[in-house]
Amino acid sequence: MVRKRILVVDDEPDIVELVTYNLKKEGFEVSSAFDGNEALARIKKADFDFLILDLMLPGIQGMELCRILRNNPATRHIPVIMLTAKGEEVDRIIGLETGADDYMTKPFSLRELIARVRAVLRRASERAAEDATIRVGDLLINKEAYSVLKKNVPVIISSTEFRLLLYLAERKGRIFSRDQLLDAAWKDEAFVEPRTVDVHIRRLRTHIEDDPSDPRYIKTRRGIGYYMDADL
């Protein structure tokens, strides 16, 4: 099992040492930084699964660092628990609105911190799983696993058929010509005829439709192209 990588950012060495020691005991891989600039540099060089971030830091402040991470598509997914000596409601609200997933006031219980880390990681994992799937009628399309379920039964299709299905599912209600679908599913492959799209659509229908002659999922607009109904 791959261990989750956590970055602990705090300018108090005693807190960093204590939190790091206890997280390692729980099976996490832990790194540390003592100011915002160092933390940002570490995040740019390595992939972290979690950030424990002090509010008041030398250099880049904790809230500003959280804002920077949330505005970057490469780091916006990293869960953050913010630590601070400030316990006023306004500070907690600002921290959460900045993008922190949770907020703990010093002094804090290490057992509670570890429990909150696990809870936030669990929620993040559930969100990631939801983001990776698209449900269309009875179909469940998993973008990461390149898999399709119909009524919870696996549907075996080729990678090209999967790309076609996913492309249409992500753009329900829009009609695409053969040339547009060629660009989407075959990309830069040479010598692919537009009629090849028709062949793959027919094959795909045999796998996902109850009645391929009267398709529910992939419909044809004669003379224009193919589409998925926006109401699915």
Q: What is the pLDDT of residues 18-49, one digit of tens each?
A: 999 999 999 999 999 999 999 999 999 999 99
- Residue 126 and residue 140 share a domain: no
- Residue 50 and residue 151 share a domain: no
Closest C-alpha among 130, 100, 120 to residue 4:
120
Residue range 115-148, pLDDT digits in tens: 999 999 999 888 877 778 899 999 999 988 899 9
- Residue 98 and residue 76 share a domain: yes
- Residue 85 and residue 23 share a domain: yes
**Average pLDDT in the 175-192 region?**
82
pLDDT band at residue 194, thresholds of 50, 70 and 90? confident
Q: Is 5 helix (H, G, I), strand (E, B) or coil?
A: strand
- Residue 158 and residue 118 share a domain: no
What angle in degrees, to the nearest 10, is found between the helix axes of 110-131 and 13-25? 60
Task: Tell me how many domains the chain contains.
Answer: 2
Q: pTM surpassing 0.75?
A: no
- Residue 141 and residue 46 share a domain: no
Residue range 52-93, pLDDT digits in tens: 999 889 999 998 999 999 999 889 889 999 998 776 666 667
- Residue 125 and residue 21 share a domain: yes
The mean predicted confidence, pLDDT, of the chain is: 90
- Residue 203 and residue 179 share a domain: yes
- Residue 109 and residue 92 share a domain: yes
Q: How is residue 164 written in tokens? A: 């076609």
How large is the C-alpha radius of gyration of the chain? 24
- Residue 168 and residue 141 share a domain: yes
CA distance 9 to 128: 24
- Residue 106 and residue 16 share a domain: yes
Burial class (CB in 10 A: 0-12, 13-18, 19+), 9: buried
Range of the domain at 192: 133-227
- pLDDT at residue 190, as a whole number: 57
